[in-house]
Amino acid sequence: MRPAARTAQSSSLLSCGICHLLMRKPPGAADPAGKCPRCGAALHPRKPNSIVRTWALVIAALIFYVPANVLPITKVTSLGATQSDTIMSGVIYFIHSGMWPIALVIFVASVFVPVLKLLILLFLVISVQRRSQWRPKDRTRLYRITEAIGRWSMTDIFVVTILVALVHLGALANIEAQAGAVFFAAVVVITMLAAMSFDPRLIWDVKEPQDECEYPA
């Protein structure tokens, strides 16, 4: 007879979140249950307050998303004429000048990815709170995607940085960063933190592990 597959939590074991050292959980241990003897990371059976933190960060990101898109991110002064650009007006400019691949890159990185990320995180948090049993493997995959794509949203911030550095020729041509850039940077950082605070193991906690694996754990 093969032993049933089990999780670390149901076996009173703790796995270090960073170095994955597996150890016995001290009985009656509080959260955090001390530090990892190997790498020194704080030990938690699950990431602390994962749901609440993720909610808070997602809501904060949603709030910042509005000024990030409404306020201009750059101000271009060229021969006395001044023009302010938001993220969307930058995209539209590229479409009008026929450079739609670049328009697509900016649109995906700056508009689509943050929204997609926030929607996925909302969906994951809500599904965990409702103890959903729906396709946990695919939801875990969604989580991994969210974790991986977030960084690419920084593209627009870097574009602003480079433009500001290069186009600095006094009255002839000058580009300045504007308030929208600050909010947008905040959205990117907050969504990254939100993805980090979500614990994908919560997706699996409602399941009994026995039935899925071919071989014993």
Distance from C-alpha of 42 to C-alpha of 44, rounded to nearest angstrom: 7
Q: Which residues does 64 contact at the CB level (< 8 Å), separation at least 6? A: 183, 184, 186, 187, 190
Residue 145 interacts with another protein (CB under 8 A): yes or no: no
C-beta of 130 vs 141, nearer to another protein: 141
Q: Closer CB to another protein, residue 44 or residue 49?
A: 44
The CA-based angle 108-110-116, given to 5 degrees, is: 65
Residues 91-110 within binding reach of another protein (CB under 8 A): 94, 97, 99, 102, 105-106, 109
**Binding test (CB under 8 A) with another protein, winner from 33, 41, 71, 116:** 41
Q: Does 151 bind another protein (CB under 8 A)?
A: yes
Residue list 120-139, contact with another protein (CB under 8 A): 136-137
Q: Using the rule CB under 8 A, is 155 a contact of another protein?
A: yes
42 contributes a contact to another protein by CB under 8 A: no
| Shortest distance in whole angstroms from residue 118 CB to another protein | 17
Binding pattern to another protein, positions 157-186, x when CB under 8 A?
xxxxxxxxxxxxx--xx--xx---xx--xx
Tell me, residue by residue from 47 to 76, as one string, x for binding to another protein by CB under 8 A and - for no binding.
------------------------------
Residue 212 binds another protein (CB under 8 A): yes
**Cβ count within 10 A of residue 11:** 12
32 near another protein (CB under 8 A): no
If you count them, how many residues does the chain have?
217
Exposure string for 178-209, b = 16+ CB within 10 A, e = fewer: bebbbbbbbbbbbbbbbbebbbbbbbbeeeee
Question: Which position among 57, 87, 192, 194 is part of the footprint of another protein (CB under 8 A)?
Answer: 192
CA 169 remoteness from chain centre: 37
Tokens in use for 61? 């990101």
Among 40, 83, 123, 206, contact with another protein (rule: CB under 8 A): 40
Of all helices (H) and strands (E), which one includes residue 151?
A: none
**How far is the CA of 21 from the CAs of 32, 148, 169, in angstroms?**
16, 24, 56
Residue placing its CB nearer to another protein in the complex, 59 or 176 = 176
